[in-house]
Amino acid sequence: AAFAAIDFLLDRANKHGVRVILSFVDNWKYAGGVDQMVDFSPTAPARTGARPEDETGDFDQIGLNETAKEYEVKRHALFFTDEGAREVYKGHVRELLERVNSYSGVVYKEDPTIFAWNLINEPRCESWLVEGCEGRLQGWIEEMSAYVKLLDPNHLVTVGGEGFYAGPGSNSEGPTGDLSANPADWAAKTGQDFVANHAPESIDFATIHLWPDNWNQSSTAFQEEWIRSHAELASSVLKKPVIVQEFGKKLTDPETRGDLGERDSVYEMVNKLVESDVEEGGSLKGSLFWNWEIDLLIGATEDPYTLRPEDSTFDLVRSHALRMQNLSESRSFDCGDLK
Residues involved in catalysis: 122, 246
SS3 116: strand
- Beta carbons within 8 Å of 221's beta carbon, 6+ residues apart: none
Write b or e for each residue in 93-103: b if 16 or more Cβ atoms lie within 10 A of its Cβ, otherwise e. beebbebebee
C-alpha to C-alpha distance for 183 and 140, rounded to whole angstroms: 25
Number of other residues whose CB lies within 10 A of the CB of residue 146: 14
Among residues 275, 168, 164, which one has the least CA distance to residue 226?
Answer: 164
The count of residues in the chain is: 339
Q: Where are the alpha helices (DSSP H) in 205-259?
A: 220-233
CA distances from residue 322 to 120, 275, 289, 328 in whole angstroms, order as listed: 30, 11, 15, 10
Residue 140 burial (C-beta neighbours within 10 Å; 0-12, 13-18, 19+) = buried
C-alpha to C-alpha distance for 212 and 250, rounded to whole angstroms: 9
C-alpha to C-alpha distance for 66 and 312, rounded to whole angstroms: 44
